[in-house]
Each structure stands twice: as structure tokens, then as C-alpha cells.
Structure 1
């Protein structure tokens, strides 16, 4: 079972003061995941190397050390730092089996502002300075947005929403488990989430081969692509046991990561629930029912809601796309 998530926010006492778009993601990750601030403890991640002021590379790992998450500084960039994951670091600037977006990186020199690499595109930081993170020692969800728009509007169109972490993998025939430190690893960046748009994702198989593996019922395996969709709003009904108040046909289910090639369920994204019908023929009904949690005095990403015996906080992923962040330890793997 995972650790219950901790909420970190821009308006906490002692929260990091963000300087510019080049450094703000580094400042948030270090303060929330590694150091803690005010009277709030850190989420339980640890620094691998912090050479941000030198080579401009910062790397951290979660408690299970399932992967290393790294940032590479792009000075003066409006896009923020480059983002990569790797198996390990030889030194402060030399990764082992690194990837960013859909690409393998032979060295961090390959990670540039051009191309389909992952970048910390936090356009709304630090100018607005609003961010909220829910994190435990395995994974985290980070939200940022413009002043007055981030938390209560159900019509948000300017948010940056990211997930990084490791989760359970469906097609590993029971061999992959986040609790064992060998679960699938993915890094998602779903900015201004609209409809069923994919986010970049990098996955590794249960044996840490860092190339993605498709498992079959007879026990055989084959390589699969490393670019996956972070797709919380598929029509999967996995573990959809929580019915949303107002309709017996609108369940909440854990968010999915899907294979980009065939939309097959690959695994569970820790901590995030969604309504599978949000992109189906029932989408208008689903959105109307879910909107009740946003058009109230409740503050999303802060106040809690009880559904099906679980505690959630509502999150808006933009353009009438709604989700719920679970505060239950078992949902964080």
C-alpha cells in the first residue's frame, strides 16, 4: 500500500517563492518532494544529483528508486527546463538509459528545446505563482494556473497539469508491482487537457529494460513502443465501483495509461480517478453530474468530498474535463 498524499500549495506558509520560468519547476520539486517547507514534511523523494547552479541538471528519485526524474536547464527559455527519466546517473550530467518524450537520449546533449521532447511548459509560472501538488513518496500530480482561474472555474483553459511517477502495469502477467519497486514507469505532461488528447509518456517493463514490453497470455513477450498515452478518460471500467451521486450509471474509475498504438489498457495512474463515460456517448450527462462538485462553495484541489467510502478532492483538467484526486493511501500504489 502506498503512502497517503500530502498537499502542497502556493499559499502555504513557507511555500517556495518562484523566481522565473527557468527555475520555477526546480524550485517546486525540490521544496515539495525533497526538502519540505514551513511545518510541512517532504513527500519522501531524494536527490540523486543537484547541479542546477553548475551544469544545470537536477535529478531525484522516488522512495522505491524505480526511476530517476531529471530536469535540464534551458536558460532564457519560455518553455522551462527539459524533462527526462533514466535508470540511473553515472555522474551529475551523465544518465543511464535516458528518455524524454518518445526519444532515447544517448546523452543529455540530445535533449534540446526543439523536437518532441518533454519540457516543463509552465507558462503560468512564476507570473501568477499559483500551484498545487498532491504527492507521496512514489508519484505526484502538479497543477498550476493563472490567478483567479486555477481552482474553481469549470471552464479552465490555461492550466498546466503534470503527473510523474510509477504505477501498476496490467500486461505484465502479475510480475510488475509498484510496491515491489518494479512497476511500470511513466512520465506524463498533459497541459490544458482537452477531450482525449494524449500526453507524452515513457514506460519501462517489469525487468527494468527501459524499452517497454508487451506481455502475452502464454508468457511470451515482445518489445513495444516507448511512447504511450496518459489517458485518464478512456472507457475502461477497471475497478469502477464508486458511483457518482445522481446517477447509478456514472462510476468513478482509476485513471488509465494506454498504449498509443491500440488504446489497450497498460496500467493505473496513481491517485487519479475519472468518469469513464466522460468521452463516451454519455459525456454531456457525465459532465453535468460532475460539475456539481465545481459549481459550489467547495474549493477544488483543496476541500474534500466523500464518495463511495473514499475521500477525494475535485480537480479540473480543463474544458469541462473533470477528475478526482484520491487521498486514500491504497490508491497511490
Structure 2
């Protein structure tokens, strides 16, 4: 039976230490996904290999084993390096040998050499974090100040890292979240290439293990998240204190292509636990981006606090560049 998604936070009793940059994501991911901490049970993932202390490599897989989230310790000494580099893969042969590994937009032949590849995804170490996860899918946020996670101001650039990883609702024959096939394992968000590529409005925000036709490929695969890639909204209701009564929300969509042009992309999956509204995207316009934070205030709640929208139990979460996303806490959206 599928588990209800749970919210994990840096300020929970017994929460893992994320103060050491090179170990921060490893400590948080292992505690949230596999070990649990304090009174918080683990999300239900398992360790594939854990050679973090000796080799700087660790991998975790969801309950269905539809894919692997891989971590590679980095040195974080220049803008081209992260503290932790990330990849996803079908499986692992051993702690440093992956089957069909991809990071960012590219195929990775040698995960040990990933720190030299500027097309990869990863994150710099940050102390403050929130995660929402169950046994198939996990969401992570990291920031350099706690206020960016809870009551972010109009400018939420402190959100350096927002990642959704695991099984999604496939539209191309790879199964549901509850019963995903191998390869139904996505990574949305994170940072890409260098520290500056953290927004969700670009065409490199999805790492997928399969092309749109379902084939394993070594070609570059671009990926975008709708509605965050396009469709800036007007500022209707921005200056009215009670303008928001309800929102028309829908799951974000995942589109991918071997071309960087959005005209060649194909819809591949939905993330039903990630809900959005045109009022929250604000792509390409600084004024409308800053207005997105106003909607959080109109709804009368800070980020990661329970509320009801469209009849669903959910929370509002921050994304980089002043944007917001709605995370459903309803079990039906996590299976």
C-alpha cells in the first residue's frame, strides 16, 4: 500500500546535519529516503551502494526500483563545480559503474568523471532544507536562509535548489507512479551546468532516462516543465488584498526532445503531485515573477503550511526567481 507523502524539515527534532557543504545533500537524502530520523519514518527508498565516506559515491532507489538517484561528491572550488553532482540511471553495476546514466541534458559514460562535465546537474551545499517524499517520489528544497523556505520575500533567489526525483505518471508506456517500469524515473529542477542555471523556465530542467519514443539514447535530451517554460501571466488581482478565493490548478507536464527548440518537444509525463497555475509561473517578466509571491500572502499562509486549494490538501512551495509551485499532499496524487 502506498505511503502518504510526509514533510521533512531541517528544524525537526533529530534532523540530519546539513552544515558541511560537501556532505549536505547526502546526509539529508539518506536520512529522508532510507533511514528516517527522530520520530520521522523514512520515505521507503533503499540504498543501492553507499561508498560516500571512501569513494564519494552513493545511490538510492525508490520502492519500485524504476531508477537510481546517484550522488557524486564534488570539491566545490570553482563556479564549474558543485558540492554534490547528481545523476539518474536505470541501475548500478557497482558503486561507480552505472547503467544508462544521465545528468542534466547529457548521457554519462563514466560517473566518476562527472565533476569535469559542465552539462551535469547538482547543487552547492546549503544548510536549510525541506523535503516531501513517499516511497516512489521525493521533492527537495535547499536554501541559504530559513526564511527563504518559509516566508520568502518578493525576491526568492535564496532558493538555490529545488528537485523532484523519482517515478512520474508516464504518458509513453512506462507505467504509473505506483507501478512504474524501469526508466520511469525523472529529475526535475536542480541546478544545471554552473550555479546560475537554477530557474525552472529553461529547456534543460528535466533529466529523463528515455527519449520520447521510449528508447535509451546517448543523444542530448532537453526537457522543459510546463507551465513554467512559457506563458507569463498578467498582473490581475495583484493589488487587491482578497483577490484570491480559489485557483484553477493542474499538474505540471514534462516535455522532452533531442532538439533545444520547443517546437520539437514531446509530452512524456505528468507530475500529479506538482500543481501549478498560470498565476504562479511568471516566466520571462520580472514584474509578474515578483507578483507570484503576492498570491501566497493572499492565500493567507506561508510556504509549506497546510491549506486547501481546489478541494485538495496541499502546501505552497518556493521556486527560484520569485516563482511558486503547489505541492499536493493528497495520496491519490502520489500513486
TM (norm. structure 1) is: 0.80
Contact 2:312/2:330 (8 A) holds in 1: yes
Structure 2 unaligned runs (5+)?
192-196, 232-241
* SS of structure 1 residue aligned to 2:21: coil
CA–CA distance in structure 1, aligned partners of residues 54 and 201 of structure 2: 39
Find the counterpart in structure 2 of residue 228 from structure 1: 223
- Is residue 260 of structure 2 the alignment partner of residue 259 of structure 1? no
CA–CA distance in structure 1, aligned partners of residues 140 and 202 of structure 2: 18
User: How far off is 1:150 after superposition?
Assistant: 2.7
CA–CA distance in structure 2, aligned partners of residues 250 and 299 of structure 1: 16
1:288-314, Cα deviation, whole Å (9 max, x unpaired):
58733236762311x111112211111
Contact 1:194/1:321 (8 A) holds in 2: no
Q: CA RMSD, aligned part only?
A: 3.2
Find the counterpart in structure 1 of residue 179 from structure 2: 180
1:251-302, Cα deviation, whole Å (9 max, x unpaired):
111111122543443211242111135458999789758733236762311x
CA–CA distance in structure 2, aligned partners of residues 282 and 247 of structure 1: 21
TM (norm. structure 2) is: 0.79
Pairwise mapping of residues 152-191 of structure 1 onto structure 2 (< 5 A)? 152-153=151-152, 154-159=154-159, 160-170=161-171, 172=172, 176-182=175-181, 184-191=184-191
Residue number among 294, 301, 317 corresponding to 1:291 in the alignment: 294
Find the counterpart in structure 1 of residue 29 from structure 2: 29
- Is residue 72 of structure 2 the alignment partner of residue 61 of structure 1? no
Structure 1 unaligned runs (5+)?
205-210, 216-220, 237-244
1:185-220, Cα deviation, whole Å (9 max, x unpaired):
21123458547224442223xxxxxx42327xxxxx
Alpha carbons of 1:4 and 1:25: their partners in 2 closer, same or farther (altered >3 Å)? Answer: same
Answer with 57-66 or 178-187: which moved more.
178-187
User: How far off is 1:61 after superposition?
Assistant: 0.3
User: How far off is 1:85 after superposition?
Assistant: 1.4
Answer with 292-301 or 137-146: which moved more.
292-301
Find the counterpart in structure 2 of residue 97 from structure 1: 100
Contact 2:276/2:325 (8 A) holds in 1: yes
Alpha carbons of 1:326 and 1:193: their partners in 2 closer, same or farther (altered >3 Å)? Answer: farther
- Is residue 117 of structure 2 the alignment partner of residue 117 of structure 1? no
CA–CA distance in structure 1, aligned partners of residues 327 and 91 of structure 2: 30
Pairwise mapping of residues 2-81 of structure 1 onto structure 2 (< 5 A)? 2-75=2-75, 77=77, 79-81=82-84
Answer with 92-101 or 146-155: which moved more.
146-155
